[in-house]
Amino acid sequence: MPFEVVDLFCGVGGLTCGMKQAGFNVVAGFDNDKTCEYAYSFNNQTNFICRNIREVEARDIDNCYSEGADKILVGCAPCQPFSTMSYKRFKSSSRELDGKYDLLKEFGRLIKGVSPSIVSMENVPEIRNSGVFEDFIKTLQDEGYYTDGGQVVYCPDYGIPQNRHRFILLASKYGEIHLLPPTHKRKDVTVRPFIEKLPPISAGETCQSDRLHRTATLSPINLRRIQASVPGGTWKDWPEELRCKCHKKDTGQTYTSVYGRMSWDKIGPTMTTQFFCYGTGRYGHPEQDRALSLREGALLQTFPQDYEFFPPEEQEYSMRDVARHIGNAVPVRLGEIIGESISRHINDMR
């Protein structure tokens, strides 16, 4: 039987793109954010279904698969609710947090209804501490899936140049399934090969040959700050008059990566939805006096260089919206590793 994939919470298609690179036929992606549709459908040539997952029924997903296809269901429920910061805000109990953010529960509901042969769930490591995750594991076990409980991966171990940890769970009705072991040595994974060859641009400028290679403007004082920054350094390298008020307080002493420059030959920071803002992390370009461009953020998320995030006829676009799409995406390379792990499992079962 042919294997077909449906991607839940698909966003602009990082996981789908990676699964396709691993050789799988992704037949549909579900997401409730209409602004993701162009990027998802155009780049992956896959049907985008704009629906709130709470309103999706198993039959809606079943209708996406071909008759007789062996079904794979993958997804990454929005992970901000399970971040460390969210848990600090909801200290009374994890159940309070689980009640507010129950999208993983919806994922489990759809697994029960669709009964795919193989499931993949990707999220932040903190999700393991939640009650909804415990319920999710129980759902898988009750439905006859084998799972090793998942594992936390460090992205550079798989060739992704970000100081980023993710949690990946695989489950199968065929038997044991595990993620591939690391494919790279950490010391060999650096920022340089991903963004070094892009044309140089200044703060607030857009590259003529690539409209996504665009950077945010810098205020006069932030321009002076980045000019005083060194790769891998901190704001402590600046003259006293350039330091922020918060940095002069005891509580600000530990935030050394804020307003930092990246280093060419080191791993980069996690690409968040704010990576285009110089003051939100170590998002200064290694040598140019500006923050990362949107294209650079996409490349560090391992999207192909020709991946398009908005229609060519769209004369104006929101940097904030595109950065949100890029930062929220599953790194494409991680999607490919998930796909290759599933492919190896299928071959082992034959």
Q: Write the pLDDT tens digit of every residue in 281-305.
A: 999 999 999 999 999 999 999 999 9
Residues 174 and 317 in one domain: no
Residues 63 and 199 in one domain: no
Residues 26 and 85 in one domain: yes
Are the CB atoms for 188 and 293 separated by under 8 Å? no
Helix or strand run (H / E) with residue 110: helix 103-114
Residues 280 and 322 in one domain: yes
The bridge status of strand 3-8 relative to strand 70-75 is parallel
Q: How does pLDDT run along the chain (350 residues), one tens digit per residue? A: 599 999 999 999 999 999 999 999 999 999 999 999 999 999 999 999 999 999 999 999 999 999 999 999 999 987 555 444 444 444 444 554 544 458 999 999 999 999 999 999 999 999 998 888 999 999 999 999 999 999 999 999 999 999 999 999 999 999 999 999 999 999 999 999 999 999 999 999 999 999 999 999 999 999 999 999 999 988 888 888 887 776 666 555 555 667 899 999 999 999 999 999 998 999 999 999 999 999 999 999 999 999 999 999 888 899 999 999 999 999 999 999 999 999 999 999 87
Check residue 288 and report its DSSP letter.
S
Please work out, in degrees rounded to the nearest 5, the angle formed at the alpha carbon of residue 338 by the alpha carbons of 336 and 339.
65
| Domain of residue 230, CATH code | 3.90.120.10
| Total domain count, the chain | 2
Write the DSSP assignment of 228-282 as a string of letters: T--BT--GGGS-GGGS-TGGGSGGGTT-TTTTPBP-TTS-B----TTTT-GGGTT
Residues 105 and 202 in one domain: no
Which residues are marked as active site? 79
Q: Minimal CA–CA distance to 303: which of 33, 18, 27, 48?
A: 18
Residues 177 and 55 in one domain: yes
Q: Which domain holds residue 340?
A: 3-185+332-349
Q: Write the pLDDT tens digit of every residue in 182-206.
A: 999 999 999 999 999 999 999 999 9
Residues 176 and 31 in one domain: yes
287 vs 200: CA distance, rounded Å: 10
Residues 280 and 307 in one domain: yes
Residues 253 and 304 in one domain: yes
HSE toward the beta carbon, residue 17, CA cutoff 13 A: 24
